[in-house]
Structure 1
Amino acid sequence: MTTSETPFDFRILSIGFTGKNAERFFTLLKNGNVKTLFDVRLQNTSQLAGFAKRDDLKYFLKNICDIDYVEIPELYPEANLLKDYKNKVVTWDYYQEKYLELLSRRSVESVLSPSLLDNGCLLCSEHKPHQCHRRLAIEYLKSRWVQNFKIEHLV
């Protein structure tokens, strides 16, 4: 490590299941040395989730990759906000602002701990993190926690 590099106290990863087949999804998680997958999807039991449907996913994670599964409802978006965004009633900027306000109201930085999320991976449905609440949640926590952590998005 050079002197210009900052050591990280821990790392948090993120992944979306859309746009990936099961082989790619589980390979990314396994190669990423993920310890726990944190489900932050509001709708995680939908038939549209395929292999990533909550109960099936728990089984696959443990048996394919030896990864634990935990739901974190504190990071779920509100149903009406998500619906309005998906139906293009509100813009991404509006959604982002309201979701960050929601995290602040919930005081998620106090409810969750860095040690819980270390080598953990936040899951939602979006393929890429650019317009996804999992990225917003991680960046929100990074802005509020003292620890320095690395963010990795598995795509």
Structure 2
Amino acid sequence: MRPDYAHQPLLAPTEDILTAFKTEKGDWNSLRHRFMDLMAQRRVETCLEPGLFAGSCLLCSEALPHQCHRQLVCDYLNGKWGGALTVRHL
């Protein structure tokens, strides 16, 4: 049985990555590359399984999907898991 809510810090950017983007007005491509590298260093694909995401919702503070780490998480994991995840922005 899955919990109703599972906090998963492995899928979150570090504070310095977010600060560089939000406070220091960094560019999205820089955040994207840094976060993708961080997920690779963390090897999140070996710590989680695709089934954990079935019927799940990833939360983020960004209102729009075009600059949101949720999409980057799915892109990264789909690259490792052969497209096992689908994304639908609400």
Query: Looking at CA atoms only, which structure, 1 or 2, has the larger radius of gyration?
Result: 1
| Greater relative CO, 1 or 2 (CA 8 Å, sep 6+) | 1
| 1:1-155 alignment, distance < 5 Å | 68-146=4-82, 148-154=84-90
The one-character-per-residue Cα deviations of 1:63-99 (angstroms, maximum 9, x if unpaired) are xxxx811101001101111011101342111111000
Which structure features the higher share of helix residues?
A: 2
Aligned residues: 89
The one-character-per-residue Cα deviations of 1:117-151 (angstroms, maximum 9, x if unpaired) are 11111001111111011110011111110353321
Q: Which runs of 5 or more structure 1 residues have no equivalent in the other structure?
A: 1-35, 37-66
Quote the sequence identity (%).
37
RMSD: 1.7
Normalised by the length of structure 2, the TM-score is 0.89
